[in-house]
Chain A
Amino acid sequence: MDLLAHLPALQVIVPMLSAPLIVLLQPRGLAWAGATASALVSFAIAITLTLAVLDGQTLEYAMGGWPAPFGITLAVDALTALMLLIVTGASAVALLAAKPSIDQQIELERQPLFYSAWLLALSGLVGIVVAADAFNIFVFMEISSLASYILIAGGPDRRALPAVFKYLMMGTIGATFYLIGVGLIYMMTGTLNMADMEARLGDVTDINPVLVAAGFITIGLALKAAVFPLHVWVPNAYTHAPHMVTVFLAACATKVALYVLIRFDYMIFQAALDGHQIQFALFAMPLAILGILVASAVAMFEGHLKRLLASSSIAQIGYILLGASFVSIAGLSASAAHLFNHALAKGGLFLAVACLAYQYRDLRLSQLGGASTRMPWTCAAFVVCGLSLIGVPGTAGFISKWLLINAALGSGAWGWALVAIILLSSLMAVVYVWRIVEALYFLPPKEGEVAVSEAPMQLLIITGLVAVLNIYFGLFPQVPLDLANSAAVLLVEGTK
């Protein structure tokens, strides 16, 4: 067996095994270097896997040589590859930039533990993505959740503690619901392997427990994914987490739960349950629409920079869910593309926030006066990523909006109404992004304040790079689009 065949396993193992090693790296800076190296290796593995998938391969890996359904299997297809790129990419980029911001926020002696938790969160998230059986998804979900509680509470902001407590409560309920659902399915089918589940569910005669399981799993994952109205844990958790943690988690954490949700509903329940498509659409679409509109409206009136962006994230989750709720190839590929593009835009925005936060202690909009003259590059990067969030043509965000609108038009009689909602929410995005821009560019600096300058070069360069990527993937989006498209085809065709 060549190395490529082992990569799905290495994808999880590399960060997981480097996590305990990082704890040992006490001398200054080494922990950061080790964690970054490990995250970069993960990213490289994800890129290699993506290239293989683009070549048309689907990789499967049986842990310890035990074949499915007995052993644990990992599988990598197009959607997996896309998610792996997002998760490992977000973590690598955030860690590359992180050092100045982390040094400022976390005491030196606690840093090795912090970076170790980061890598555990990373390995948990990629574990969820590559795992091909329902129980291991749960295990990895717990690993990533526990690690991210530590990350969020790890900053100097004491308000993070109640925020994390809320997150922990909601997260545990979500995970428990998920586990109940999986248990019910296990009861009916006797398997935890997802491919097996799909095959055996067809023979199940008593369908009621499966229906209940579908309900539990969908709700549980929706909680984890912060689908409106189960999103209440998000704003505080994002706001009070250390800034670089927000970059990492906002770019990928909720999306991973959404990924599992889409996988379960499309690959397992739609094949097994008659009419599940319609049930799923009826469940997801109203929530998606409400989420988009309500969260955007909240963002329009929010006064705190990070909380505003967190609200916008909830709206963006709504877009992804909306695309999935069309139950069509066009809709799903729009969703998958938006997974990628939103990670780019929001990751870039939170990076810029981290730059600002390096100089401004108070991130309320009213306190950001004079930012544009003191931190021109940060503000420019912010504007570019903000435009991508709005979906201005020429940026990555436009691509997925365009796909989503086309999918909405193809979704039937109500298509026009959905288009109107998408456009309306884009206008709301203009409003909330522009409120920030005006604060950065036009508020006068506070009197008697020490003049601040640009953020450290390391932070700034990565932020600029992500901003440039937002434009690059707006003009040349072939790679994410190919992945998104084959993922959608796989999900929809796979059910037939």
Chain B
Amino acid sequence: MTPETAILVAIIVPLVGALAIALAGRFSANLREAATAITSISLIWVVWGLLPTLMDGGRPSIEVSEIMPGLSIAFTVEPLGMLFAALASGLWLINSIYSVGYMRGNKEKNQTRFFACFALALSATMGIAFAGNLFTLFLFYELLTLSTYPLVSHKGDAATVRSARIYLGVLLSTSIGLFLPAIIWTYSLAGTGDFTAGGILAGKLDDPEIGLLLGLFVFGIGKAAVMPVHKWLPAAMVAPTPVSALLHAVAVVKAGVFAITKIIVYVFGIDFLFDAPSSQWLVYVAAFTIVTASLVALRQTNIKRLLAYSTIAQLSYVVMAAAILKPLAEVGASLHMVAHAFGKITLFFAAGAIYVASKKTEVHQLRGIGRRMPWTMAAFTIGALSMIGVPPTGGFVSKWYILAGAFEANNLVAIFTIIASTVLNAAYFLPILYMAWFEREPVGGKEHGEAPFLAVLALCITAILTLAFFLFNGPVIELESQVVKGLN
């Protein structure tokens, strides 16, 4: 298989998988789960098979259809997209293991639809990761929104449908109302929307408009949840926990910050943007989002909503890192995508495991739970420490790079924001850890042990990955440094 075909195969495999899952679901649940496993393993094989080419500096690309002159569906693999695709496909396998444990443990309905839509969402994610131009990115971005809608509204009761409406409403209206005009504007300025090293807008746009266009992109990409377009993320927490874990900690939200990073690097060009004072607002908005979301997280009593607000803050880390516009910070942005993915998926897995085992959803119910669910809470602890950025977890590495970039740019706002948010993260995670490990369980609580084995296995794997990323992050740094090679 040439790398070019591998790109298409990576998008088609989950599609075929979705069909297979839907068909297999008619016969037996085990067959269906086997279809999911085979699909996700094949996807990993295809996607990770592209890594050597990328490491050697290859940029495989393929055009599928030229819809109109200048407007085509085309794919190019570059380091940012490679990392995102590798991350999403790898975590999908672990998440599938977890999902089986969770969905069965919870006796959820419509499991076939759930697994089939999940595969569809992964196909859209691959399309986003490998998109070679803005139009293709937009196409799969919308597909991802639509394919995750049935997952968010999975439960189907009135409250869930209402939340799912917010989810769809915010994501679709921002993308059509802001993202699409930004894309059209870019095409009309540059005559192309291809992602090109160094950007395509240099010299074609002047100062106040640069900031405006950047704003259309940043707020149009609602999946990045930069305030004030973040409301959909807490709303999406009505979904089953595996959805929150993979989609609303990894695939969907990362698709947002990934798209913003990619646009900053390949459409604007970081040097071009650095010289435009009107683009500076993005750092402030991201900083505001980080601090505000952390403050809101402090006040949350529901575990999943707390994690959602923490995600909003962490996403803006990536946006802020990209907006610092320095090579080290860009590398930090991509590292943080990985580190946060490992840490946050662990936290969601743990929250879901707690729910399956004990039906507990609130923070205050976690007193003494560490003794009943030691594995789960150990993983939770590792995830939480990574969010705060304590070594030896992955979160430390990415914060280090972002801070280094901020110092390089002399960006005091960014530096102080990182420090402040570290304190805030500690303030909302450490009490939970203390409660779970050191406080005594109230008498008369429900007797329960660990969650189903598959769920615990999955969350242990991601916890180990969180730790491992602290030590073995070399290949990622090497790969992502290619993005900023040759820049100041």
Residue numbers of A with Cβ under 8 A of B are 387, 392-394, 399, 402-403, 405-406, 409, 419, 423-424, 426-427, 430, 434, 438, 441-442, 475-477, 481
Question: Which of B86-94, B175-183, B291-299, B305-313 is found at the contact surface with chain A?
Answer: B175-183
Asked if B188 contacts A406 (CB within 8 A), the reply is: yes
Instruction: Across the interface, name the chain A residue whose C-beta is closest to B161.
Output: A442
Within 8 A of A (CB), among B35-65: 65
Q: What is the distance, in angstroms, from B165's C-beta to the closest C-beta of chain A?
A: 7
Partner of B138, one of A393, A406, A476: A393
User: Do A393 and B184 form a contact, CB below 8 Å, given A423-B176, A427-B173, A427-B176?
Assistant: no
Q: Which of A387, A402, A409, A426 contacts B68 (CB 8 A)?
A: A402
Q: A405-B184, A442-B156, A477-B67 are in contact. Are A394 and B176 (CB under 8 A)?
A: no
- Bound together, the chains give a CA A423 to CA B178 distance in angstroms of 9
In contact, A393 and B142 (Cβ under 8 angstroms): yes
Q: A441 contacts which chain B residues (CB < 8 A)? A: 153
Q: Is the CB of A393 within 8 A of B156?
A: no
B residues less than 8 Å from A424 (CB atoms): 177
Q: How far is the CA of A441 from the CA of B168 in the complex (A)?
A: 15
- CB of B161 within 8 A of CB of A475, answer no
Output the least CB separation between A239 and chain B (Å): 27
| B8 in the interface (beta carbon within 8 A) | no
Of the residues A409, A426, A475, A481, contact of B176 by C-beta under 8 Å = A426
Contacting pair A419 B181 (CB below 8 A): yes
Chain A residues within an 8 Å CB radius of B71: 402
Q: What is the distance, in angstroms, from B316's C-beta to the closest C-beta of chain A?
A: 26
Shortest distance between the CB of B43 and any CB in chain A (Å)? 21
Would you give the shortest CB distance from B23 to chain A, in whole angstroms?
A: 14
- B 68-100 to A, binary, CB cutoff 8 A, 1 in contact else 0: 100101000000000000000000000000000
Please indicate the chain A residues that have their CB under 8 angstroms from the CB of B173 in the complex.
Answer: 427, 430
* Distance, CA A430 to CA B181, complexed state (A): 17
Chain A residues near B135 (CB-CB < 8 A): 393
* B65 and A399 contact, CB distance less than 8 A: no
- On whether the beta carbons of B177 and A476 are closer than 8 Å, the reply is no
A393 to chain B, nearest CB (A): 4
> Do A475 and B65 have beta carbons less than 8 Å apart?
yes
List residues of chain A with CB within 8 A of the CB of B184: 402, 405-406, 409, 419
Report the Cα distance A394→B139, complex, angstroms: 6
A399 to nearest B CB, angstroms? Answer: 7
Interface 0/1 of B146-171, CB less than 8 Å to A: 10000001001000010001001100
Interface of B: prevailing SS: helix
Q: Does B457 contact A (CB under 8 A)?
A: no
**CB of B208 to closest CB in A, whole Å:** 15
Chain B positions 179 through 221: 1 when the CB is less than 8 Å from some CB of chain A, otherwise 0: 0110010001000000000000000000000000000000000
6 sample A-B contacts, Cβ–Cβ < 8 Å, listed by A number: A387-B146, A392-B146, A393-B138, A393-B139, A394-B142, A424-B177
> Using Cβ atoms and an 8 Å threshold, which residues of chain A touch B165?
434, 438
**Is B172's CB within 8 Å of the partner chain A?**
yes
Determine if B153 and A442 form an interchain contact, defined as CB atoms under 8 angstroms apart: yes
B156 proximity list for chain A (CB < 8 A): 442
Q: Which residue of A lies closest to B153 (CB)?
A: A442
- In this complex, what residue of B is CB-closest to A477? B67
Is the C-beta of B409 less than 8 angstroms from some C-beta in chain A?
Answer: no
Whether A399 contacts B68 in the complex (CB less than 8 A), given A423-B180, A426-B176, A427-B177, comes out as: yes
Task: Give A27 Cβ to nearest chain B Cβ, in Å.
Answer: 41
In the complex, which residue of chain B has the Cβ closest to the Cβ of A394?
B139
How close is B220's CB to chain A, nearest CB, in angstroms? 11
Which of chain B's residues has its CB closest to A431's CB? B169
Q: Which residues of A contact B73 (CB under 8 A)?
A: 475
Interface: B24 (CB within 8 A): no
Residues facing A in B126-145 (CB within 8 A) are: 135, 138-139, 142-143
Q: Complex formed: what's the CA distance from A419 to B71 in Å?
A: 19
Query: Cβ of B68 and Cβ of A392 under 8 Å apart?
Result: no
Contact A476 B161, CB 8 Å, known A393-B135, A393-B138: no
User: Contact at A409–B188, with CB atoms within 8 Å?
Assistant: yes
Chain B residues within an 8 Å CB radius of A409: 184, 188
